Amino acid sequence: MSSLLTAFIASLFLTFLIIHSRLSHENHSGDMADAGIQKLHLVTIPRVGGIGIFFGLIAGLTLHIISTPYESITWQLPLIASIPFAIGLSEDISKKVGVRIRLMAVAISACLASYFLDLKISSIDIAGIDYLLSFPGLTIAITVFAITGLTNSYNIIDGLNGLSSMTGMLAASCLAYLAYRLGDTTLLFLSLVLLAAILGFFILNYPRGHIFLGDGGAYLIGFWIAILSICLSYKHTQVSPWFALLINAYPVTETLFTIYRRSFYKNSSAMDADRLHLHSLIYRRILHSHALKTENKFIGKNSKAAPYLWIINLITLVPAILWWDKTGMLIGAFIIYFTVYLWLYKKIISFQTPKWLLFK
């Protein structure tokens, strides 16, 4: 418990310091209001919230290692996770690190994690695909692809106050619950220490948006969640591999649909930024008004948007907790979620938003 409290306090304190010293570093760490088409704020805000989370993790893990017997993953995971965090933070500060370079760094980290942590996606409980996964080279390639993709997906959904960080906390909570059920104290601690570190940041990010998560923070959360998700089902074969997908259904669905939408529908690069993510549409089509002229009003509408998606996440999070060992039920839950996502997206994009969503 003391390690978790340390992670929370360290994250909260460092995040607080970053916010209250912003005038001395905002030329480097700040997210300018006119810096891109996806910006939903009027003033410069620090976008290096990942620093607080990272050092919160390090503080909590260090105390845990000093005071408790531990497995090697306890120090290997933060060491490897520092790579995607660092490359993301470099982009947050310089604004000059391209998407391809960042993805390459994340992929290298995924390779290192697969090798040193002995992580593999060796089954998805579908006969034909499981046969293909029996080939080691293909197994490693899919594992690296999955880790890289999920890591990036948490960055893609980082467009509203509290959205990516709460999504990460919900996923970490599910992982912690199941690790507890299975008696896996190492994965339980690694899930809870992430949750504690994110919470220290979240308190100052939501609802007022005093600081943003940034690419570094989003990559750190996504990578950590990806590793623990794969590790849980690989170590405990009774856990359906679809559990990992269900607790990350929102970022995964958003990423896959974004790639399809940009590449095939818009005939543009999948890496081009736009304002057509589901969270962007909820903000702009349901909550936003051209009458918003002050930062406080922008923040108010921004912070009302994320809970829509937190609630929709329950479509997959609840089944994941209830039926973590039943692949058929989890596949069905994912199909329902994906259908609801597409239906809702189509309704909002075509200006046919259901009336029950029009809460302002």
302 is in an annotated binding site: no
Q: Outline where the chain has alpha helix (H).
A: 2-20, 26-29, 50-67, 73-94, 99-116, 127-132, 136-156, 163-182, 185-205, 214-235, 242-247, 249-260, 278-281, 295-322, 327-349
CA distances 247 to 132, 176, 206, 208, Å, are 25, 12, 22, 27
215 is in an annotated binding site: yes
Residues 219, 84: contact at Cβ < 8 Å?
yes
Q: How far is it, in rounded angstroms, from Cα 317 to Cα 215?
A: 25
Positive or negative: CA dihedral 230, 249, 49, 203: negative
**What's the token pair of residue 278?**
């589901």
Query: Annotated binding site for Mg(2+): which residue ranges?
Result: 155, 215
Cite the annotated binding site by residue number: 155, 215
